[in-house]
Structure 1
């Protein structure tokens, strides 16, 4: 076995290596994204200006699965070739790299020969076929399963999450034992520079180690020193925050595991990334890497419909571009944009859904007057650039809004609840026989190039368990979910409708959009990954309504574009009403004092959605609109509705 450079690692020791360095290239394009703020103290001595604190760049790959993935060696070659073109300071593999035996030694040899600095993390599959840590030490040229490594002004702490915890735990061991935990605490306490934590198993979120809560509490105590916690294992692209510490899941280089006869759903191109760390600014930049599904996707085979499906339901063949800035207290995530493949794409389509709060709510007791509300509603739509609007609680405003925008529109009657507005001509607007037009309408949008898009505008009842109960700590998760039965029954009738079934059968040619006010939260927003959140996300809720849409093959475009469930990307759409108001059944929002504060402080949940289906339609960005263009922030009663608007921009593939 030939290894170009064989550093020594110590559980309790330090290893410092001055790397060759020139001015580093900046990563990618400027990231346009949403920001997430959190309160976090940063000690000046760790991040003070110092000319010796240079940018550090790491090449990172996770879950290659050499020996299991059929083309793993080709994927590794692509990663190493790409890293030759970049000035990097170390190579990092985050575990499940390759079986550490003679048959698969070429994986380690290629990796180790590619750079003088390499960081190895042991994954659970390194123990397959009765292989051991000692086999990893021998194959990779390391001396410990957990260790620290200094690269100039950055400290890397590598953890081993493969220790045994509870004797009743099933599957692979997934634990950090007391000895390693004590070592970790001592390392964090002594750290005199920013720290990057590396592990294979997640330390937060679904599939986290068995004692994740203990480790998170430890990290919270030293969060002023931790730039980021980086892991593999989950084969997803996800970022979570727990008490001010960021936990980033790096996607697999090869595939997403679905089990069954299919076993793996492969990515066309290998996924890997580079991290650029600026220790002086406490900034970590993650370069984007995207691919597409090679053959079928997990959704194509109905993976998420299974009872044993992973709770990670935002699964994409990508690593999103991100910036994690500790000094500025923000995280920026670049929306996922699918590779166009061989298709030419040159048209975008913006779709909005908005409940405008019935007759624009002219009651002056707790909102603006009708004329001002209507003007602001039109301003917001015009400013958004929306091409299609699925509107709810339109009640008598349809004609005025359509005339002001010079849009086509369809509504069942002059005073109807629902209305579809479109910049382009509408056809196929026949009523949906057997369904109430108060809750369901449809129309086909005819784009200039001949492409058609079928749009359904829907409203599900607010009866049953009201969404405000999401805050009721005395109500069990099970009882809260049961309160959505009326909405689920409504939706089931819609999903089974002949027109709808016919349209989704032809969605490959004519994409389908379902948008509106669903009056319930989504299972995507209430998972094990959000259970520590203090923003109404702590419940774990298998909501039947959103799961039914997912099972039918639809994508939740907002959550797909904003997978990191952070405060500003929660996408809460109800309510825009601030702390000075109280929701009273039958009365709406009633001021609790004479001059209520017009502040958006306490939103309940995300209940308005834009779902899409069809390969010609790709969601590239989605946002929530909560204020008038003349305002810089969310406010009420200046905003004309109790619901925020949702706006998704799609890319249309040419026919």
Structure 2
């Protein structure tokens, strides 16, 4: 059976023997080439309707001419297919020898027809097959008449004849397949018979790389039955109706899609703009608070990273109560904005966040992620690139300290995630540097955290999740407020690492006895000064902590500032035979400030991110 990773590997093998010059030149005799394919994408340009549409097209083509692509794709509502607007198609077709056209609903304005599209664009049919470098592309036409649920307006339907063609193509294809349509097949503004088409595609999910659409003028990723459905934002505007009609983007939006068979990933590049004048919110069109990711209105195409077998899980205490405090704004960016940038740059798929404190909705909207939290101002929040389920509160457990959700990955595999915070009460972690406190006394100081953890370990739902972990892998991540016995051993003491303490910490021992793997230490088993992985604190001697004030700047120190991290207290634990730790790292810097810790890095805790490989077995 051709699963999606196998399909993308097959793409590499087929590409190696294809006639595309860039691939053929790089081919090596000793192994088939797994060369990425890259396409320029533009949607909903609206030539003849939108302001400056031709200059927006020119910008797209100019950028694509400087970034070699294997083809150019327009996802419909491109330009009126008549003589007056023929220049759009002429420019597009002249820019590359592999151009792919999708018919949108506005191509039928002013009495125009499919025949006009055929003539203007140089295509023969409205739905068709195209092979590019070992990738099969199936172009659909969502403008069929005859929908039994049509409620007026433009048709939005894939009729029986086209469905039969699609079923036959999917049945016989021997290579990975990309599905293109103008109207969405899932999510916002989906076609009338979307469920029928989704069911058909689900039967062949292992062959389908992704489904791409325009039409909705939103930027989102929807996952159904292991298939990514990507909505590509308009190049020009968001429709608001009324006298304003359109809320224009100041700069054109477009993107590139890269399909990498070697890593089995799909990536959309980032393209940002701003509202040219009033935003939809300012106009009063878009009034809902905290909209779901599939209906976010933004002048942007955000980067997307879709990996069918890899999962990046982050845990981070973001110090959220003060992340919009103007004292911690740097270069006109709030601490919250820098937090979002760090998460986005990390390629995290799931984030177990601590100290969210009112940040959750804003962070989720900015990332385009699903999220689960107990309340708008709650401590804990789980964010996910992929859909979340089983998010009910855990009876008997305080949601300030324990929440859980199930993540469904693109191929249908499920991963159970717990986000936890253990009490910081009692003996504080700073005592680890106090030589007057013995190792035994220090370890006993974490007994209250062990008691706190036992509430989770002994909970019936958690026990059930442990029992099922070989089929549904289990991740427990968060701020444990204590070190681990794995970092404080006779060996580390001999090396003079971690205060030379030897500590029997009951919390980490209990996690180990329950079968969990400390993923950072599993990825870095050899303890050295470089692999300590300290997560607290990122704040150097430039700042001192004062209760109710946060970190207050002390006398200036030379740059770069002195750092004083001394404990690893944030963890990503994993359990389950279908979950393999590939790598893990601690993030202590914002990528734009590589030599600076706090406050450029917006929290006193480092982030921990683990890369997992998830088995395809369901």
What TM-score comes out, normalization by structure 2 length?
0.52
Matches within 5 A, 1:499-648: 517-518=375-376, 535-536=389-390, 591=458, 596=463, 629-633=569-573
The answer as to 2:21 corresponding to 1:20 is yes
Distance in 2 (CA, whole Å) between partners of 1:235 and 1:196 is: 20
1:456-495 per-residue CA deviation (whole Å, 9 max, x = no partner) reads xxxxxxxxxxxxxxxxxxxxxxxxxxxxxxxxxxx9xxxx
SS in 2 for 1:303: coil
Distance in 1 (CA, whole Å) between partners of 2:414 and 2:460 is: 31
Structure 1 residues 292 and 593: alpha-carbon distance in aligned structure 2, compared to 1, 3 A threshold: closer
Contact 1:80/1:111 (<8 A) preserved = yes
Could you say which residue in structure 1 is the equivalent of 2:259?
A: 277
Structure 1 residues 535 and 565: alpha-carbon distance in aligned structure 2, compared to 1, 3 A threshold: farther
Distance in 1 (CA, whole Å) between partners of 2:150 and 2:176 is: 37
The answer as to 2:92 corresponding to 1:91 is no
Stretches of structure 1 that go unaligned for 5 or more consecutive residues are 1-15, 26-48, 336-379, 391-419, 423-442, 456-490, 492-514, 539-561, 578-587, 604-627, 636-646
CA drift of 1:567 comes to 10
Structure 1 residues 516 and 208: alpha-carbon distance in aligned structure 2, compared to 1, 3 A threshold: closer
1:588-607 per-residue CA deviation (whole Å, 9 max, x = no partner) reads 9895569957969899xxxx
What TM-score comes out, normalization by structure 1 length?
0.50
Structure 1 residues 597 and 191: alpha-carbon distance in aligned structure 2, compared to 1, 3 A threshold: closer
What is the aligned counterpart of 1:262 among 234, 237, 244? 244
What is the aligned counterpart of 2:298 among 311, 316, 339? 316
Structure 1 residues 134 and 295: alpha-carbon distance in aligned structure 2, compared to 1, 3 A threshold: same
Structure 1 residue runs of 4+, over 6 Å off?
A: 448-455, 564-577, 600-603, 649-653
SS in 1 for 2:91: helix
What is the aligned counterpart of 1:133 among 114, 118, 136? 114
CA drift of 1:263 comes to 1.4
CA drift of 1:53 comes to 5.1
Contact 1:324/1:331 (<8 A) preserved = no
Contact 1:446/1:452 (<8 A) preserved = no
Structure 1 residues 291 and 573: alpha-carbon distance in aligned structure 2, compared to 1, 3 A threshold: farther
The structure whose RCO (Cα within 8 Å, separation 6+) is larger is: 1
Structure 1 residues 148 and 516: alpha-carbon distance in aligned structure 2, compared to 1, 3 A threshold: closer
Could you say which residue in structure 1 is the equivalent of 2:201?
A: 219
For these two proteins, the number of residue pairs brought into alignment is 383
What is the aligned counterpart of 2:269 among 287, 298, 322? 287
1:239-273 per-residue CA deviation (whole Å, 9 max, x = no partner) reads 11101111111111111111122211111211111
Distance in 1 (CA, whole Å) between partners of 2:63 and 2:106 is: 26
CA drift of 1:91 comes to 1.1
Structure 1 residues 224 and 294: alpha-carbon distance in aligned structure 2, compared to 1, 3 A threshold: same
Could you say which residue in structure 2 is the equivalent of 1:433?
A: none
What is the aligned counterpart of 1:250 among 232, 239, 245? 232
What is the aligned counterpart of 2:95 among 76, 101, 114? 114
Distance in 1 (CA, whole Å) between partners of 2:570 and 2:45 is: 50
CA drift of 1:301 comes to 1.9
CA drift of 1:632 comes to 2.3
Could you say which residue in structure 1 is the equivalent of 2:165?
A: 183
Structure 1 residues 537 and 263: alpha-carbon distance in aligned structure 2, compared to 1, 3 A threshold: farther
CA drift of 1:136 comes to 0.5
1:111-148 per-residue CA deviation (whole Å, 9 max, x = no partner) reads 11111111000001111111111110111110000010
Structure 1 residues 17 and 68: alpha-carbon distance in aligned structure 2, compared to 1, 3 A threshold: farther
Contact 2:224/2:410 (<8 A) preserved = no
Distance in 1 (CA, whole Å) between partners of 2:268 and 2:190 is: 22
The answer as to 2:278 corresponding to 1:296 is yes
Could you say which residue in structure 1 is the equivalent of 2:153?
A: 171
Distance in 2 (CA, whole Å) between partners of 1:303 and 1:283 is: 36
1:340-387 per-residue CA deviation (whole Å, 9 max, x = no partner) reads xxxxxxxxxxxxxxxxxxxxxxxxxxxxxxxxxxxxxxxx9xx84x5x
Distance in 2 (CA, whole Å) between partners of 1:20 and 1:306 is: 50
SS in 1 for 2:191: coil
Contact 2:271/2:302 (<8 A) preserved = yes
What is the aligned counterpart of 1:142 among 107, 111, 123? 123
Distance in 2 (CA, whole Å) between partners of 1:181 and 1:187 is: 10
Structure 1 residues 258 and 221: alpha-carbon distance in aligned structure 2, compared to 1, 3 A threshold: same
Contact 1:60/1:92 (<8 A) preserved = yes
Identify the structure with the greater helix proportion.
2
Stretches of structure 2 that go unaligned for 5 or more consecutive residues are 1-16, 337-357, 359-372, 393-406, 423-454, 476-567, 576-587, 593-598, 601-618
1:586-635 per-residue CA deviation (whole Å, 9 max, x = no partner) reads xx9895569957969899xxxxxxxxxxxxxxxxxxxxxxxx84532379
The answer as to 2:132 corresponding to 1:192 is no
SS in 1 for 2:161: helix
Could you say which residue in structure 2 is the equivalent of 1:6?
A: none
CA drift of 1:108 comes to 0.8
Could you say which residue in structure 2 is the equivalent of 1:502?
A: none
Structure 1 residues 181 and 24: alpha-carbon distance in aligned structure 2, compared to 1, 3 A threshold: farther
Distance in 2 (CA, whole Å) between partners of 1:192 and 1:280 is: 18
Structure 1 residues 269 and 168: alpha-carbon distance in aligned structure 2, compared to 1, 3 A threshold: closer
CA drift of 1:167 comes to 5.9
